[in-house]
Amino acid sequence: MFNPLVYLREVLTELRQVTWPTPRQTTNKTLLVIVVSTVIALYIAVLDAAIQRAIGFLIQ
């Protein structure tokens, strides 16, 4: 039968075995995500503007 206390004890045991990232690693990965997201957003914005101009040119 399912015992919640046993389950929680096992969860805590597993959490103690996790190798957590250092604060520096977390900061580096966060900055990487921000930079990559910004680059992709700018790329999409430029493509969107180019497509809008092309469609506008074709419509006229």
Q: What is d(CA 47, CA 53) in angstroms, rounded to the nearest whole number?
A: 10
13-53 pLDDT, tens digit each: 999 999 999 999 999 999 999 999 999 999 999 999 999 99
pLDDT of residue 8 exceeding 90, the answer is yes
Residues 6+ apart with CB under 8 A from 29: 21
In terms of residue numbers, what domain contains 43? Answer: 21-60
The answer to whether residue 8 sits within a structural domain is: no
Q: What is the pLDDT of residue 39?
A: 99
The answer to whether residue 7 sits within a structural domain is: no
Q: Work out the angle at residue 43's Cα, subtended by the Cα atoms of residues 41 and 44, and round it to the nearest 5 degrees.
A: 65
Token pair of 35 as six digits: 């930079």
Q: What is the pLDDT of residue 36?
A: 99
pTM given for the model: 0.70
- Report the domain count for the chain: 1
Q: What is the pLDDT of residue 3?
A: 94
Phi, psi of 11 (to 5 degrees): -60, -45
Whether the CB-CB separation of 29 and 21 falls below 8 Å is answered with yes
- For residue 1, name the pLDDT band (cuts at 50, 70, 90): confident
